[in-house]
């Protein structure tokens, strides 16, 4: 059975505050999106790669990618779930089966290791639901408001959700359509599956698979990328 990838890339990066979508910011001589898509294109286990972009985006398809023939761009939507659904529907139009696996990956995670994808595929190969890459929480966790700390939250069994998140095309489409019908905005694919009673697996991944969200994340990504290149772990 095949494995495909969907990359929601229609966001405008409001939290980053750069005046442009953060995926177009420079990282080691190329923009973030080029790094992310080039890594996915190099993974031969992935059959089709669909990138959901803003209808106003004129840059995405013009960038010099390593394997542009592997990429298909489709219009995304206002929310992440809209863009992912657009990507899933595009896969179906191109003959993907409901039983195929789909990896949904953040465009702002350019440091994804191929070894993590291989591990995710191996662990979930026969799983009836699917799962996500994640990291166990290491820090003491606090819940608070404008007045201060409300409570210390036990970090036992808490995980940071990463991507890719891996589910069957049919099941994920149904979960996202159900959330849309209920006007429930879900922030990742796992939470859409959880709404329907599924329990996705947690698969530990590398800690350098960071999401570039704020300006200081870009400097950290530069340093981590240099270290990946030095040690050769990016492939």
Per the structure block, which two tokens stand in for 191? 């939470």
Stated as kind and residue range, the H or E segment containing 104 is strand 101-104
The torsion angles phi and psi of 107, rounded to 5 degrees, stand at -65, -25
* Bond prior to 164 in cis (omega within 30° of 0): yes
The residues, any chain, with a CB within 8 Å of residue 159's CB and separated by 6 or more, are 134, 135, 136, 137, 202
Alpha-carbon distance 95 to 57, whole Å? 26
* Structure-block tokens of residue 92: 């179906």
Residue 110 tokens, joined: 């350019």
Cα–Cα dist 199/138, whole Å? 23
pLDDT tens-place values along the chain, 235 residues long = 799 999 999 976 555 555 678 999 999 999 999 999 999 999 999 999 999 999 999 999 999 999 999 999 999 999 999 999 999 999 999 999 999 999 999 999 999 999 999 999 999 999 999 999 999 999 999 999 999 999 999 888 999 999 999 999 999 999 999 999 999 989 999 999 999 999 999 999 999 999 999 889 999 999 999 999 999 887 6
Alpha carbon 61 to its chain's center: 19
Q: How far is CA 118 from CA 106, 126, 149, in A?
A: 17, 14, 40
Token look-up 């240099």 returns 226
Instruction: Please name the helix (run of DSSP H) or strand (run of DSSP E) that holds residue 161, with its range, or none.
Output: strand 159-168
Q: Are 145 and 86 in contact (CB under 8 A)?
A: no
Provide the β-strand partners of residue 161. Answer: 134
Instruction: Determine the pLDDT at residue 11.
Output: 79
């Amino acid at each position: 059975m095949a494995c495909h990838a969907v990359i929601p890339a229609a966001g405008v990066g409001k939290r980053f505050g750069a005046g442009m979508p953060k995926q177009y910011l420079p990282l080691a001589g190329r923009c973030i999106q080029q790094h992310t898509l080039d890594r996915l294109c190099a993974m031969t286990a992935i059959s089709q790669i669909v990138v959901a972009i803003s209808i106003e985006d004129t840059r995405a398809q013009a960038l010099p990618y390593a394997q542009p023939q592997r990429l298909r761009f489709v219009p995304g939507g206002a929310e992440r779930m809209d863009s992912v659904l657009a990507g899933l529907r595009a896969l179906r139009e191109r003959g993907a089966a409901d039983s195929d696996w789909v990896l949904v990956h953040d465009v702002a995670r350019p440091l994804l290791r191929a070894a993590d994808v291989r591990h995710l595929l191996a662990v979930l190969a026969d799983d009836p639901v699917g799962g996500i890459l994640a990291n166990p929480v290491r820090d003491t966790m606090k819940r608070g408001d404008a007045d201060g700390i409300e409570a210390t939250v036990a970090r036992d069994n808490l995980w940071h959700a990463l991507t890719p998140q891996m589910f069957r095309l049919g099941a994920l489409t149904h979960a996202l359509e159900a959330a849309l019908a209920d006007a429930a905005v879900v922030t990742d694919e796992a939470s859409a599956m959880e709404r329907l009673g599924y329990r996705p697996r947690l698969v530990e991944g590398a800690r350098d698979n960071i999401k570039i969200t704020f300006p200081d994340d870009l400097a950290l990504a530069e340093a981590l990328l240099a270290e990946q290149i030095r040690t050769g772990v990016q492939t």
